[in-house]
Amino acid sequence: MVDVLAGYDLSGQVAVLTGAGSGIGKASALTLAAAGAIIVGGDIDEAAAQATADEIRDSGGIASAVRTDVTSRAQVDALIDSAVASHGRIDIMGNIAGIPHNKMVAEVTDDEFERILAINMKSVFYGCQGAIRHMIPQGSGNIINISSGAIDTPAPTLACYAMTKAAVAMLTKTLATEVGPEGIRVNAVAPGVIHTNFSRHNYTDAEGNEDPERVEKYKKRFGSMAPLRRVGEAQDVADTLLFLCSTGASFMTGQILRPNGGAAMPW
């Protein structure tokens, strides 16, 4: 019989993940670590990235954290270089860090436009460039970029966010054509509505604390728009990343996978 589970064994593979301190990045770090991967997590929130690494180490895994502002090419390079210096290689690069943005086009200032481009778009380019620098000589590698369901559904206030995520999708597809012959796969994940800190503004009170009643309302409202009748959890997206790291995805590149309950980005 084919040993299908062996394809999910990531023992010895080195994974660099940005945004590892929260939500999808944290769940992905814990999930890939549970499958045996060595995790090097970057986040602008150093304490949060450290907490993720501690949780992995406490469970017997191998992990470290590096404070990384993904808007800085030098810091993204330093994150990747630290993984290669410590572990000799980089097998998986997950460009996950990102922020939401909701504003009508007419109201967007130059500063916030530059900020969203830097955090959500340029960072992914830096992560891809930094990773392939090592992966091409290795002759192997697996890059996973986080796009968004916002690329599928035009909606008011999402222009800047959707632009950055569409750019990530196109970078993914284009880079896949460039580095496929080098043995490197490049795919993107475009989640629908996922319950993480990203969407906190939907259900926090005036002091910024989570209001359980509003959380339920948010889940009901967005969940009701999806054919699967729920919002996603970070684990749903982490599981998609795990699949992309498995041998089950070894013939997939340039693809956009959509864990979204059947609804791209309801509004």
Ligand X SMILES: NC(=O)c1ccc[n+]([C@@H]2O[C@H](COP(=O)([O-])OP(=O)(O)OC[C@H]3O[C@@H](n4cnc5c(N)ncnc54)[C@H](O)[C@@H]3O)[C@@H](O)[C@H]2O)c1
Strand partners, 141: 184
Q: How far apart are the C-alpha atoms of 67 and 69, rounded to whole Å?
A: 7
Applying CB under 6 A, the site for ligand X has a residue count of 30
Q: Which stretch binds ligand X (CB under 6 A): 86-94, 151-159, 191-199, 207-215?
A: 191-199
44 DSSP assignment: S
Report the residue from 68, 142, 246, 253 that binds ligand X according to the rule CB under 6 A: 68
CB of residue 182 to ligand X, shortest distance in Å: 26
Interface with ligand X in residues 236-255 (CB under 6 A) = none
Q: How far apart are the C-alpha atoms of 123 and 80, rounded to whole Å?
A: 13
Site string for ligand X, 9-28 (x = CB under 6 A): ---------xx-xxxxx---
Report the residue from 55, 69, 182, 239 that binds ligand X according to the rule CB under 6 A: 69
Q: What angle do CA 80, 92, 186 make, to 5 degrees?
A: 110
Quickly list DSSP for 16-47.
Answer: EEETTTSHHHHHHHHHHHHTT-EEEEEESSHH
Q: Which stretch binds ligand X (CB under 6 A): 4-12, 82-90, 173-181, 190-198?
A: 190-198
Interface with ligand X in residues 95-154 (CB under 6 A) = 96-99, 119, 146, 148-149
Tokens (6 digits) for 95? 């460009």
Per the annotation, the verdict on 218 as an active-site residue is no
45 binds ligand X (CB under 6 A): yes
Site string for ligand X, 198-237 (x = CB under 6 A): xx--------------------------------------
Q: How far apart are the C-alpha atoms of 73 and 127, rounded to whole Å?
A: 8
Q: How far apart are the C-alpha atoms of 142 and 90, rounded to whole Å?
A: 9
Whats the size of the chain, residue-wise? Answer: 267
Report the residue from 32, 151, 194, 264 that binds ligand X according to the rule CB under 6 A: 194
Determine the distance from the C-alpha atom of residue 62 to the mean position of all C-alpha atoms in its chain, rounded to a whole number: 20
> Pick the catalytic residue: 8, 126, 161, 218?
161
How many beta carbons lie within 10 A of that of residue 44, not counting itself? 19
E strand segments, 131-189: 141-146, 184-189
Q: How far apart are the C-alpha atoms of 122 and 164, rounded to whole Å?
A: 9
92 binds ligand X (CB under 6 A): no
Using the minimum distance from each CB to ligand X, give the nearer residue, 12 or 201: 201
Catalytic residues: 161
Residues of this chain that bind ligand X (CB under 6 A): 18-19, 21-25, 43-45, 48, 68-71, 96-99, 119, 146, 148-149, 191, 193-194, 196-199
